[in-house]
Chains A and B, each alone.
Chain A
Amino acid sequence: MLKDITLGQYYQTESVIHRLDPRVKLIGTIAYILSLFLINKIQGYIVAILFLALVIRLSKVPFKFMVKGMKAILFLLLLTVAFNLFLTPGEVLVQIWKLTITKEGLKLAVLMAVRLTFLIIGSSVMTLTTTPNHLTDGMEKLMKPLRKIRVPVHEIAMMMSIALRFIPILMEETDKIMKAQIARGADFESGNLIKKAKALIPLLVPLFISAFRRANDLAMAMEARCYRGGEYRTKMKPLLYQRADRISYLVILIYLILCFGLGR
């Protein structure tokens, strides 16, 4: 189950989207997310679906791969939908026991579900087609102006890239420790909430210890390879805008115009 989380995992293949400058993908993703929350008409969402479908198609990442990533956040999604469904006041449609579903609630719930689904898939397209190093390079460069106000831009970028690199490793480790404790009779499934939370201790303690050990090892390995912050570093893959990137910006702009033109 844990292995199904695709967010933060790079999918290796050759495609136009893979080759784009990460800054384009970052700005594109942000623009896309914003558009999801600003449009409110069905036409707008149709444009959004078509745009996303086009990008996924171009990225050559199998669609299945992205849907799998959805499974992991299904709970969060359902929770949000439930909140909106039951807690929005308005014209009552159905009433079961103490739960009321209102017309407004239904509308809002559907809207939230659509927005969240698109948001997740949209951002997974970015992470699936961009290596974390590339991604953080993009962030670093975009945020560079912030260095003037003493934001440690390089350090933040490096931290994120390392976090992303270790997510799959720690996932696998979680799976392994869980199995080892189950083999010792641990039960992660039954019991009430408190019992369940308590049952997590044999999983979390080893996991934290392991994470610290890895962090320690990695810090040493980085030092051994002469890492000393961003100052003297050069780039193996410096970011330079190409023609495709400029065209992409144009496409994003057109998308936004279409979205707002039709969707509001």
Chain B
Amino acid sequence: MSLILENVSHIYGEDTDMVVAALKEVNLEIPDGQFIGLIGHTGSGKSTLIQHLNGLLQPTKGTIYFNGQDINEKSYNRKELRSKVGLVFQYPEHQLFEVTVFQDVCFGPKNLGLEQKEVEMRAYKALKQAGVKEELFYHSPFDLSGGQKRRVAIAGVLAMEPQVLILDEPTAGLDPAGRDEILGQIKKLQKETKITVILVSHSMEDVAEYVDRIIVMNRGEVLFDDMPKEVFKEYKKLEEVGLAAPQVTYIMNSFIKEGFLTSSEATTIQEAKEEILSFLKKKKG
């Protein structure tokens, strides 16, 4: 079970004079159960990339395999694919439309043609997984706060019970606590269900805490694809393309420059703290 992209290119407006190559020869392998951060600034091709993964966009060149099958073959059931590769768009609360929260979350599983009972069970489970309180289930989704709406919208995709969950900037516009809550909820879900999660973000700080692997996109190409600490070592190259490593990396570099540390593997505050403490302990002892 995995997603494989083979030489995937996508060119917009091929027959016009405004040709834009949004993806260039992208090769990726996404095995089961990984938590991946997909990073790149606006226009780097990351939005185009994720829309290929559930067949909303077709590559102009190259092939995408899901569980060994070419998803763009004529006979392939793309509707089923969309239930297996769930995509949560940016500002997903803008897609809410039903009278109640619960009914809105039912929309996805209902489209899969499931029985009413199964639909409702899934909606209930998904709302729980997304951290929506039960007393809100029968409220109008439009009366909820921004953060709650976002959770309902995420539940709407979770209710399809995807094997791969892609979230396009799920924290955009939320306040710091709202951001931490949503990301924490996603991490918990990933741990419990072992599904693959692809988290699209602008912010290295956000993903550093949560993911096992970071894919950095730039101008339609994969620039880096590695563990966070390895990617952040290339902070100079990241800056060249308008990105940056998390602040922690820079802090630890200052310590290295001052001769406190010889090297650092820290990508989170917790790890940085431990490295500094153990250094100070060694110095004393």
For B14-52 the 0/1 string (1 means CB < 8 A from A) is: 001100000000000000000000000000000000010
User: With contacts A180-B89, A182-B82 known, is A206 near B156, CB below 8 A?
Assistant: no
* B235 interfacial by beta-carbon distance below 8 Å: no
How many interface residues does chain A have, given as a range?
20 to 34
- Contact call B94/A185, Cβ cutoff below 8 A: no
Whether B60 sits at the interface, judged by CB under 8 Å, is no
The answer to whether A185 touches B112 (Cβ under 8 A) is yes
Let me know if A196 is at the binding interface, CB within 8 A: no
Q: Is A209 an interface residue (CB 8 A)?
A: yes
Closest chain B residue to A65, Cβ basis: B16
- Is the beta-carbon distance between B89 and A183 smaller than 8 angstroms? yes
Q: Is A246 an interface residue (CB 8 A)?
A: no
- Contact pattern, A 162-195, Cβ under 8 Å of B = 1, otherwise 0: 0000000000010011011111111100000000
For the complex, what is the distance from the CA of A62 to the CA of B17, rounded to whole Å?
10
Could you list 7 further interchain pairs (A-B, Cβ under 8 angstroms) beyond the known A176-B89, A177-B94, A206-B97? Answer: A179-B51, A179-B56, A180-B89, A183-B88, A184-B157, A185-B79, A185-B112
CB distance from A207 to the nearest CB of B (A): 9
Q: Which of B58-110 contact A (CB under 8 A)?
A: 79, 82-83, 86-89, 92, 94-97, 107-110
Contact at A183–B107, with CB atoms within 8 Å? Answer: no
The smallest C-beta distance from A212 to any residue of chain B, in angstroms, reads 11
Q: Are A183 and B94 in contact (CB under 8 A)?
A: no
Residues of A in contact with B (beta carbons under 8 Å apart): 62, 64, 173, 176-177, 179-187, 201-202, 205-206, 209-210
Task: Identify which of A180, A209, A210 gathers the most chain B CB atoms within 10 Å of its CB.
Answer: A180
Which residues of B (153-194) have their CB < 8 Å from a CB of A?
A: 156-157, 160
A179, A181, A182, A183, most chain B CB atoms within 10 A: A183
Offer 26 A-B interface pairs, CB within 8 angstroms, sorted by A.
Answer: A176-B89, A177-B94, A179-B51, A179-B89, A180-B87, A180-B92, A180-B94, A181-B95, A182-B56, A182-B82, A183-B56, A183-B87, A183-B88, A183-B89, A183-B157, A184-B160, A185-B108, A185-B112, A186-B111, A187-B79, A187-B111, A201-B97, A202-B97, A206-B94, A209-B94, A209-B142
- Minimum CB distance partner of B51 in chain A: A179
Q: B9 CB to closest chain A CB, in angstroms?
A: 20
- Asked whether, in the complex, the Cβ of A183 is within 8 Å of the Cβ of B97, the reply is no
Chain A at the B interface: SS class: helix
Q: Which residues of A contact B82 (CB under 8 A)?
A: 182-185
- Say yes or no: A183-B112 contact (C-beta < 8 A), given A177-B94, A177-B95, A206-B96: no
CB distance from B185 to the nearest CB of A (A): 19
- Residue numbers in B under 8 Å from A205 (CB-CB): 97
Closest to B80 in A: A185
Nearest A residue (CB) for B157: A184
Contact between chains at B56 and A185 (CB < 8 Å): no
CA–CA, A181 and B96, complex, Å: 9
The distance in angstroms between the C-alpha atoms of A104 and B95, with both chains bound, is 50
Distance A182 CA – B87 CA, assembled complex (angstroms):
10
Give the residues in chain A near B95, CB-CB below 8 Å: 177, 180-181, 184, 202, 206
Is B54's CB within 8 Å of the partner chain A? yes
List chain A residues, Cβ under 8 A from B83.
Answer: 185
Tally of chain B residues near chain A (CB < 8 A): 27
Per the 8 Å Cβ criterion, residues 94-147 of B in contact with A are 94-97, 107-112, 142
- Within 8 Å CB of A181, what residues of B? 95, 107
Instruction: Report Cα–Cα, A39/B112, bound state, in Å.
Output: 56
User: Does the CB pair B107–A184 fall under 8 Å?
Assistant: yes
How long is the Cα–Cα vector from A206 to B91 in the complex, in angstroms?
12
Specify the chain B residue showing the minimal Cβ separation from A209.
Answer: B142
Q: How far is the CB of B116 from chain A (nearest CB, A)?
A: 16
A193 to B247, CA, bound (A): 56
Residues of A within 8 A of B16 (CB): 64
Residue of B nearest to A208 (CB): B97
Closest to B83 in A: A185
**Nearest B residue to A199 by beta-carbon distance?**
B111
A20 to B109, CA, bound (A): 56
Q: Give the distance in Å from the alpha carbon of A234 to the alpha carbon of B259 in the complex.
A: 65
Shortest CB-to-CB span from B24 to chain A, Å, is 22
Rounded to whole angstroms, the CA-CA distance of A173 and B16 in the bound complex is 23
Q: Are B54 and A183 in contact (CB under 8 A)?
A: yes
List of B residues within 8 angstroms of A202 by Cβ:
95, 97, 107
Once the chains are docked, how many angstroms separate the CA of A177 from the CA of B153? Answer: 12
- CB-CB under 8 A from A173, the residues of chain B are 94
Residues of A within 8 A of B157 (CB): 183-184
- Residues on A with beta carbons closer than 8 Å to the beta carbon of B142: 209
Minimum CB–CB distance for A62 against chain B, Å: 7
Q: Which 7 A-B pairs have the closest CB atoms?
A: A185-B111, A205-B97, A180-B95, A184-B108, A183-B87, A180-B89, A202-B97
